[in-house]
Structure 1
């Protein structure tokens, strides 16, 4: 028993004669007498990679959402951080750190000028709390820069440029100002 076939007019796949739609591409088939020679499959156009577009994880970057994202991904370095989210988050961190730094400096100035043999436990506890806070802030800044470097297609190890005095910080500042890169970015 021989089954009759026809070929899809869209993709060229052999189909049973009774099929009205191609199961491979979904194209509707005319059931009239069709030639039995297959049409060549349509060649998929080789598309260019998407052009680079701004990337931000938060839908509307701003001081609040970007600062929250800065902390939310505190220990995640395998992600990306868009330019707007990075700079808004950095501003938020600065606005948090500045008053605390001023308060800390006043606190230690008052200790040095007014020390009369009082207990040193309370100042040490406060110092330990501030040290923990600044450690968390440092980790947040490092991981944010690593995620920002991933967004422009660079390795997070480029963060080590900070160890080069003055010039390294300038280079990383310039890199942080670069737009997002989708083309040939291995960190997408």
Structure 2
């Protein structure tokens, strides 16, 4: 009589479960995990998960900005009185898409940043340092690029 195989942890073969950070995640894996952990503020996020997502976000925002500019300039007119350019009617479409994307990624981006801070063994509340004018974002950038700290496992569920 043989024993059934031991159950595998949740996740795709070779990937850690969603409750664990994925060190060495690829671009696609990081993008997928970002959406799967939409509003999860507990646990940790590896540097690769964090930075691959931000690269993906920069690409999407860049494309949406370009689309907005293209749509805005097609059909644009110049106001004869003031000399200012009035964007075309499709500018609203591009702006709406950009706004919807921003709303869609607001909470999960905050959650990802929170988890990244956990991976460096810092409370997610350190995110509020980013609100300090001029230096806050620099402090956060240093935290985000820091090595993972094994003691950050205390934030795992």
* Structure 1 length-normalised TM: 0.58
Mark the structure with the bigger radius of gyration: 1
CA distance in 2, matches of 1:126, 1:106: 9
**Higher helix proportion, which one?**
2
Q: 2:109 aligns with which of 141, 146, 169?
A: 141
Partner in structure 2 of residue 89 of structure 1: 53
1-side partners of 2:116 and 2:33: how far apart? 13
Deviates further, 157-166 or 172-181: 157-166
Structure 1 runs (4+) greater than 4 angstroms displaced: 122-126
5 Å-filtered alignment, 1:8-157, equals 57-58=21-22, 60-110=24-74, 112-113=76-77, 124=92, 127-157=95-125
The reply on whether 1:176 has 2:144 as its aligned counterpart is yes
- Higher RCO, 1 vs 2 (CA within 8 Å, ≥6 residues apart): 2
1:65-103 Cα deviation digits (max 9, x unpaired): 111112221211112101122112211222222111211
Q: Structure 1's 59 and 148: CA in aligned 2 closer, same or farther, altered over 3 A? A: closer
Task: Name the SS for the 2:150 alignment partner.
Answer: coil
- Per-residue CA deviations over 1:20-66 (Å, capped at 9, x if unaligned) read xxxxxxxxxxxxxxxxxxxxxxxxxxxxxxxxxxxx73364111111
Counterpart CA distance in 2 for 1:92 and 1:154 is 25
The count of aligned residue pairs is: 129
The CA distance in 1 between the partners of 2:97 and 2:143, in whole Å, is: 33
8 Å CA contact retained: 2:44, 2:152: no
* Alignment gaps of 5+ in structure 1: 1-55
Indicate how the Cα distance of structure 1 residues 166 and 177 shifts in structure 2: closer, same or farther if over 3 A, else same.
same
Query: With structure 2 as the length reference, what TM-score do the two structures score?
Result: 0.68
